[in-house]
């Protein structure tokens, strides 16, 4: 049995809307059978820049390894850190 979605009322303020949704189920107001996939092509993950001091010889070895894999050395460092932590 298909249930018809209710109409969302108009609210005078954000506080009024917040109070409404605290006591109502959003599933009653949205027809998910009509939902469409949406892409966010320009969405970027949050990153933070850090400063890391490395011995020159270690950085040279990392750059050589990155060059062999045809990836930027900073990306290779992130991959290795992710593999080790994850």
Residue owning tokens 């605290």: 22
Strands (E), the chain: none
Residue 28: predicted pLDDT: 87
**pLDDT tens sequence across 31-85:** 878 888 888 888 887 888 999 999 999 999 999 999 999 999 999 999 999 999 9
37 or 1, which is more confident: 37
| Count of helices and strands (H, E) across the chain | 3, 0
Mean pLDDT, range 19-28, rounded to an integer = 91
């Amino acid at each position: 049995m298909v249930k018809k979605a209710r109409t969302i009322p108009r609210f005078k303020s954000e506080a009024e809307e917040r109070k409404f949704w605290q006591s109502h189920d959003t599933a009653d107001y949205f027809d998910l059978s009509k939902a469409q996939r949406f892409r966010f092509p320009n969405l970027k993950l949050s990153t933070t820049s850090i400063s890391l001091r490395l011995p020159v010889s270690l950085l040279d070895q990392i750059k050589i390894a990155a060059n062999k894999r045809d990836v930027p050395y900073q990306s290779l460092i992130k991959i290795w850190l992710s593999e080790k932590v994850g």
